[in-house]
Amino acid sequence: MTIGPTPTSAAATARPPKQAVPFTARDVVRQLRWDALLRNTATTVVILLLIASMADLLNSAAMVVAIAVWMGLSMVDATVLRLVPRIGALLERDPVLAESLITDALRRRPLQPTVRLTIYHRLALLRHTQRRFAETAAICRVVLEQNARWYRRFEPSLLLMLTDASLECHDLLGAYTGLARLHVSKLGLVESLQRLALQVRYDIACGHDAQALDGVDRKIGLIELMPPPTCGALHAMLAGAAQRTGRPELADWFQRRAQLLCTPAELDTYLSSRVHVTA
């Protein structure tokens, strides 16, 4: 799968975006290997210089060189890490510029695996914002496969994106995998709410309407804490589920609430669809 640049804003005409590095799962692994090779070589050189200076084979200038090499390596990581908050802020405001910064960052080497995977996490966020769900799922899957200790912090975010993107692509197996891992992950309140929204969507997409309505009182309490568009969408979807399971009173109650929470156009979409509710 290849990911190219997507000029989606007016800024694209004013500033030619940089060509994004084509994305393939194999490329990510290759980049990480190159990083490791370069870093290991540089670390070996630093250690040799330190040993040499300790054994009086070279004078203390060797240590200066060693420290300079070490600082040079750290500078590459530091430069890229400085871009991360900026990319985050630009994701919705100026996706073209965000893409350009991501491309710049990914071209630099050697990077620590944590730094490179952080940039890929931002790329996944960008693709998700652009509603390019197949690519989002592919990036999330590759990053999660790296088994890095780093991603513990980003794991919930990656799994939520993977599940959402899989549902949007009607890939129920991918959504199941994401949800299964989300159920054993440590989540904060907001992430737990997002998981609940995805679980309801997954149940309805699979035709498990009764399961979607299981514990409905508790679910409603939590759904009300979600952002209004998600709250309205889930009401509409649950109205459909209640209708299909032969609970007209509950369906009517959900639908009347949904009419207050969603626009008529949104309501039509959600009532007729089984999956299209982006959490």
Partner 1 sequence: MPHPKPKPFAPPKPEQVRKYLRRHPPTGAPRWLSLMPMFSLGLLLVLLLMVQETALLLVMAWLILGGLFALLGWRVRQMQELEARVNHASDLAVLNRFPESLRLAWRTLPVATRSPEMHGRLVALIAHDLDQAGACESAITAYTYLLDNMPPNHPSAVQVKIHRAMAQLTNDQLTDADDALRRLRGAIEPYKGSPLAALYRLANLIQQVRTLHFEDAVTHAPTLVDELRPLGVSAGLGHALMAWSYRNLPGAAEPGSPFRAEADSWWGRATLLLPVETILRRFKELTPMAETTTGDPTQAPA
Q: In whole angstroms, give the CA distance from residue 112 to residue 118.
A: 10
Verify binding: residue 250, partner 1, rule CB under 8 A: yes
Closest CA to 159 of 124, 204, 129: 124
Q: How far is CA 206 from its chain centroid?
A: 24
In the complex with partner 1, the residue whose CB is nearer, 16 or 227, is: 227
Please select the residue that binds partner 1; options are 261, 275, 277, 279, rule is CB under 8 A.
261
Contacts (CB under 8 A) with partner 1, residues 10-29: none
Q: Min. distance of Cβ 193 from partner 1 in angstroms? A: 9
Residues in CB range of 188: below 8 A, 6 or more apart: 156
CB of 31 to partner 1, least distance (A): 26
Q: Cα–Cα distance between 95 and 150 in angstroms, integer?
A: 25
Residue 1 or 71 having the CB closest to partner 1: 71
By rule CB under 8 A, what string of x and - marks binding of each residue 31-50 to partner 1?
-------------------x
Task: Kindly tell me which residue out of 56, 147, 173, 265 binds partner 1, with binding defined by CB under 8 A.
Answer: 56
- Residue number, 62 or 142, with CB nearest to partner 1: 62
Contact 233, 266 (CB under 8 A): yes
- 78 touching partner 1, by CB under 8 A: no
Is residue 89 involved in binding partner 1 (CB under 8 A)?
Answer: no
Task: Give whichever of 53 and 112 is closer to partner 1, judged by the CB atom.
Answer: 53
Number of residues that bind partner 1 (CB under 8 A): 30
Q: Residue 235 and residue 251: Cα distance in Å, rounded?
A: 9
Whose Cβ is closer to partner 1: residue 184's or residue 217's? 217
- Say whether residue 90 binds partner 1 (CB under 8 A): no
Q: Give CA–CA dist 130/18, Å, rounded.
A: 17
How far apart CA 136 and CA 120 sit, in angstroms, is 10
183-208 burial, b at 16+ Cβ within 10 Å, e below that, comes to: eeeebeeebebbbbbbbbbbbbbeee
Residue 215: CB atoms within 10 A of its CB come to: 9
Cβ atoms of 167 and 205 within 8 Å: the answer is yes
Helix (H) or strand (E) holding 37: helix 25-54
Q: Among residues 1, 29, 47, 67, which is the contact residue for partner 1, using CB under 8 A?
A: 67
Separation CA 135–CA 3 (nearest Å): 7
85 binds partner 1 (CB under 8 A): no
**Interaction of residue 184 with partner 1, rule CB under 8 A:** no
Of the candidate residues 170, 227, 268, 272, the single one contacting partner 1 (CB under 8 A) = 227
156 is a contact residue toward partner 1 (CB under 8 A): no
Least distance between partner 1 and beta carbon 111 (Å): 19
CB of 74 to partner 1, least distance (A): 11
Residues 6+ apart with CB under 8 A from 27: 21
Applying CB under 8 A, which residues contact partner 1? Answer: 50, 53-54, 56, 60, 63-64, 67, 188-190, 216-217, 220, 224-225, 227-228, 231-232, 249-250, 253-254, 256-257, 260-263
